[in-house]
Every structure is written in C-alpha cells, then in structure tokens.
Chains A and B, each alone.
Chain A
Amino acid sequence: MIATRSAAERTTTRVAHPSPHAAASLAFAVGLVGAAATARAQGAVAADDPRATAVGAAVLADGGTAADAAVATALALGVVNPASSGIGGGGFAIVYDAATGQTYAFDFREVAPAALDPGDFVVDGAVDPMRARRGGLAVGVPGEVAGLTLLTERFGRLSWRRLVAPAMRLAREGSPTSAFMSQAAARVVPTLPDEPAFAPLRALLTVDGAPRPVGAPLVRPALAATLGALSRDRRALATGPIADDLVATAAAAGGVITTADLAAYQVAERAPLDGRWRGHRLATMPIPSSGGVVLLEALAIIDGAGVDLATLGASSPAALHVIVEALKHGFADRARALGDTDAGRAAARAMLAPARLAALARAVDRDRTLPSARYGEPAPVVTPRPGGTSHVCVVDRDGNAVALTTTVNGYYGAKLVTPTGLVLNNQIDDFAVAVDASNMYGLRQGAENLVGPGKRPLSSMTPVLVIDGDRVVGCVGGSGGPRIISNTLQVLLDLFVFGLDPATAVAAPRIHHQWQPDVLVVEPELPAATRAALAARGHQVEVADDITAVQAIRVGPAGAVGASDPRKNGARAAAAR
C-alpha cells in the first residue's frame, strides 16, 4: 500500500562533509536563489527560511542533536520571520528519542492570563472579535522560551548559549528582508491602527514609510540584546526587566497579562497522540491541538472509504474529493466538540472510536459532496468524566527526530512589539470569544473552546512523526492556521501513499476545507480541469493563494531527505553529516 522507496532517494543531491559555515552558506545561497536543491545526509533540517535552516544544519554538523538543531532553528526563525513565530509566542513539539524508542509531546502553547475575563471581549453588549486579534487582550502568556529550554535540557547535547548565538547574530548583524516578510508587511501595514501601541510594529515593517521591500536589511538590535540576556539566563523572559517590559507593553494596549502569569508558566508534557496508519505509527499532538485528532480522523476515513487512493492519482479530482470529505468530518467535529477541557479531551477520544470512523467512512459519497449538517454525524459519543506559525523538522544522524511547530498566531501576532524586540502573540483569537463565533480564520468554535483564564486555546498545529518499528521515517508539519491540518494531511498522503519525493510533495498545489464556511479553497496552481471536476461534485470552489507552508523530511535507506515549502521563502532543506 505504501510507497516504501520513494523517488526522493533517487533524486537526491548530496552534500559531502560540509563545514558548519559551508553548510550555512550553501543552504543560505540555495534558499536565496530558490534552486530546487534537496540535500541528503545522515541528518536533515527543513524550515520556513533558508537562514534558519542553515542554522539548524550547522548545529547538526557541530554534533548537536535533533532537539538542539530544532531549538536553534526556531530561535533563528523568530528573528528573520517575525510574522510567523518568535519568543513572544508558543508551540508544540513531538520528539523521538532513538536511544529509548520513546516519543514525547510537549505543549508550550500560550495560556490565557489569569485575569482574563470573557466579558473583556464584549463591547456595548456585542462581542468584538478584534479585541482577540489585536492589542493587549489578544496576548496569551508566551511559552516558546520555556518549551525550547526544556527540549535542550531533556534532549540536547550542545550548550544553550551555542544554540542562541546564531539567532542573536542574525538579529544584531541583520539579514535581508525575505519575500515572505515583505508580503506579510505589505498585508499588515495598511491595517495597523494609527495608535501609539502599534507604532513599534509599524517601524519594524516599514522603510521610509512604505512596507519593507525584499532585500532591505533587517536589523533588530533590541531583540539581539534580549537574546543575549536569554543566553545568559534562560528565565530572562519569565522574570526581570524583559518580563516587566512585556507586561507593560501589553498593559499599554489594554492587556491584562501580569508578571505572575509569566513566572507561573509551565510547559505541559503530554502523552503523544498515537495512531496506526498503513503499517506506520503516527505520533502527533493531542489536545489542545486539534490538528492531531483531525488528522488521524481524516486518514482513517480516507482509508475506510473504499477507494484505493494511490490508483486515483495524486491531485486527481477523485482523490481530492475523498480527502475533502474526510476533512469536512474532522473539522465539523473540531468545531462542535474540541477544546482544552475534560469534555473536549473526551470528545477527542470519542471522535477516534473505530466504529464511528467506519460509519463516517461509509457515508462518504465518492461522486457528490453532502449537505453541511451531515458531517460529523454520528456525533462522537462522549462519556463525561470528572473533573502567521513556523514548522521545523529535524532528524539527526542518530535517528532522533523533532517535529516542532511554533507560532505567534496571526501575522505579527497582536501587532505589539515590546521595546526589547519581542513580537507578542495574539493567541487569544484561537479561543471562541462566544459560542459559534468565528475567529480570524473563519473557524466556528464551540463551548469547549470558550476563552477563559488559565486555558490553552485550541490549536491547529499538527507536528507529526511517522515511525516504522524503531526508526522515524517521516516528519511533517506546517503553518497556516486551520490549513495546517489539511495541508499536512496532503503532504503525508503524497509522501506515503502516492510515493512523491519530499520536494514534489511540499510544492504540489493543495486544497483546504474546514467544514464551515462550506467552501473548498484551492490554490491557483490546481489545474482548471481539476477545479471544474471538484465543482461538478458539488463543492463550492474558491481560488486563493493564502500561504500555507509545509516542511517535510522522508527518511529512507539512504538517509534523510528534506524539503522546505517554496511558498514561504523558497527555502530548501539543508543537511549535515
């Protein structure tokens, strides 16, 4: 059933014994010219930006572990790509420890401040969703530093200072503005209110009053100093002047986050969500990520729908239709039942009950889409019990692997930048500010995901490791809100069902459906005939080119082959021996 030996291993460009600097230079150059070079060696790194990828490759070449490389890469991403992630945000990580064969899941997602009151989002009797998207109330307690620190403590080999140093250097010495950052700036600048709270972000995103052009030097001295402090003291963001500065910035914009929130933040280690799929074990993120649950549900429905996907052809209308139908069931369940509560967790378990998945799979009509109300039915039976994103894939020479997704949520998060250079997240928008209210991604959300103090908002981040026996054979994850789930699913299918090599898999045009709104979003590159064929099956097709970037590594007998999505910065994977 599964393409065991993909074309990836046959189309590899090998990088032989690069020095750390050579590896960095090579990967950077490759990314800048956008060449389709994919590297193979005993380890691989795939990330959104070539400079960050190069940082990770250099760490691997220095003898660092997958966790070391993932941490250094994530920190560098936060410098060169602040639209998507940074130390003002949070994330999830799935870690595979080859020595023990154990898999771990770490949740360092932002938490709603203790003083946050759902009533804060009501203005004159009506819910104001913009308060959850922009300004102080949108900011959740950041967890990225705590999460990355824990990863290095548990699974690292190199010093923390060594891992922070490349990001610090990028911030201090500067780097050219990427095409993605320039696009994101052009999109965000016109929407920024003309208020003092948003002036620092405006200053970061503009050059001579215009959105930052591609190639303009991006120097972030304040962030460099913050990273310097962080390299000396891992708790520098939890207590002390940087923490005070963060709290003051949020408060000046109406926020309620406190230094006590920052000091109290704890990374949650969770049991990974495990699934069996076509002979592989999939390790992904449990609640508060909805991504893992929806992914496993969709894969099971696709497999149970009675179609041999591989024979239909990748990107064929018939295959895409089945994928869309499976996604609609998953997203319907997500909207109705999931959240960071006991009931939400129970719903997640119930959603994956084999008998229910089989019933949903039988309901898939291969020729027609169904009325919206039919998705997610039968509803999961819950037994009450008491009580803008970046993705990094790393596999090292020892077989350790990390799938790490970090985020500040929307582009540039809450649109607040602290004097110490942190771009603050707007993760509160991932909550429902009212039952059935839509967030900025148009996702309808139920009562289990209502905003509340101390809760972690439901996420779509879907870091996935694919494990065969005692070795990781794949790593996939992405950025782009709810599209992460659908896009990660498609790349997984491309790699393990259709047998595409990683570069082809991440570059292929993709589709997205999240049940509500009942619209099938397709990328412009999807052929016109395929779009028409999907419309003929009853889908309401819309063409959009919103950026969703997926990173992937496929490990075969010849080693690890990675690919970074050309949709963001055209970065390609780097490798190191």
Chain B
Amino acid sequence: MSPRWITAAWCGLAAALLIAAALSSRWLVADVAGLGASVSARIGLTSVKVCASTLGDAQCQEVAWSQLPGQVEGSGWMWIGRATFALCLIAALGLIALGGMAVAELEVQLPIPAPRLVLWPCLALLPFIGAYYLFPPRAFSELAAGRGFAFGVVGGLLGAFAAWRQLKDDWR
C-alpha cells in the first residue's frame, strides 16, 4: 500500500474514533442495582443520560448541561466538556480533510502547513480529556471512565500520529 493510502487510513480511523468520542454518552459511567431498582448513569461531553429500571420497566432521561442550572452550568467542568466536544470535531474534520488531500495528492499552500493545523487540536485534546476526568462536579464524582475516554485518547493520539507522519512526509 502506498504511503498516502496509509496516511489516509490512519486519518480516517482517528477521525472515526474522535467523532465517536464526541457523540459518546459514556465518558463517565456508573451502575447500581439493589433494593428494588437499578440505575445507570451515562455522562457525555454535553449531557447526562440516566436510565432507571424498576421491576423490569426501564425509563431513560437525557438532560443537557444547559438544563442543569444548579449543578453544572457555569462550572469550569461544563466548559471543559464543551471544549473537548469542539476539539474532537475540529480534529476529526481536519483529519478527514488531511486524509482526503493525501488520497487526492492535493497540496494546499497555507501559511501554516495543513498537517500542523491538524496536529495541534489532536494534541490539545489530551489535557482537556484529562481535566474532564479529574475535575467533575461532586454529583458526578466517583464515576468510572467509560469508552468515550478511550475513543478520545486513542483518537487524539492516532490523529496526532497521522498528522505528524504527513508533516514528516511533506518535509521530505
């Protein structure tokens, strides 16, 4: 396989992971069962989804941060979540564009090389992901990290790798 196709594959995989991360409702997860009811809480980057099951009858409720005035709105954590969401999508779009340019063998002249423009959001994503895990409001503390984190971290690293690889090829 030619290097440009390999670059495109890396970019595509990373973009898919980052989109999955942005849309995932499983960044923080917790489940509890007992005393007649089971509850699952799934927290994404911009909302919380709670499902409660009583006697086999499950009901789910999804609430955006903007609908939780007391708990989350105005807290730094909410903005970290929104920024992470935005960075995931920006990085994913950049990676898709980068992959497309590689496949089409397009060279776009920009003041800053295109791979570098993609590399930065991929790397910037990582501290935001860490902060989102480390500093939730107390109502959401002690929840476990879910697959959203895995998608975000792996997607960010893969995307950075793909962008770096393209940057290196461009230097040659």
Contact = CB atoms under 8 A, between A and B. Distances in A.
Interface of A: 310-319, 367, 498, 500, 508, 518, 527-543
Interface residues of B, number: 33
B71 A529 contact: no
Nearest to B29: A529
B143 to A, nearest CB: 5
A536 B70 contact: no
B55 interface: yes
Contacts of A538: 63, 67-71
Contact of A539 (B52, B54, B70): B70
A533 B49 CA distance: 8
A301 B32 CA distance: 27
Contacts of B134: none
A202 B96 CA distance: 70
A316 B139 CA distance: 15
Interface in B3-47: 28, 30-32, 34-37, 39-41, 43
A532 B30 contact: yes
Contact of A535 (B40, B49, B139): B139
Nearest to A543: B138
A79 to B, nearest CB: 37
A108 B36 CA distance: 41
Nearest to B28: A532
Interface in B86-139: 137-139
Contacts, number: 109
Contacts of B55: 311
Given A311-B54, A530-B32, A536 B138 contact: no
B37 A312 contact: yes
Contact of A498 (B30, B36, B39, B40): B36
Contacts of A529: 30-32, 39-41, 50, 143
B41 A528 contact: yes
Nearest to A535: B139
Nearest to B55: A311
A406 B61 CA distance: 44
B37 A316 contact: yes
Interface string B53-68: 0110000010100011
B153 interface: no
A533 B36 contact: no
A105 B71 CA distance: 42
Contacts of B48: 532, 535-536
A450 B72 CA distance: 36
A540 B49 CA distance: 16
A533 B139 CA distance: 9
Nearest to A312: B54
Nearest to B47: A536
A315 B31 contact: no
A535 B54 contact: no
Nearest to A308: B54
Contacts of B32: 527-530
Given A317-B39, A318-B37, A543-B138, A533 B71 contact: no
A510 to B, nearest CB: 13
Given A313-B35, A540-B71, A532 B140 contact: yes
A312 B54 CA distance: 6
A528 B142 contact: yes
A543 B137 CA distance: 10
A542 B41 contact: no
A316 to B, nearest CB: 3
A530 B50 CA distance: 9
27 contacts: A311-B36, A311-B54, A311-B55, A312-B36, A313-B54, A315-B35, A316-B54, A317-B39, A500-B35, A508-B35, A528-B32, A528-B41, A529-B32, A530-B39, A531-B139, A531-B140, A532-B41, A532-B48, A532-B143, A533-B52, A534-B139, A535-B71, A535-B72, A536-B48, A538-B71, A541-B137, A542-B139
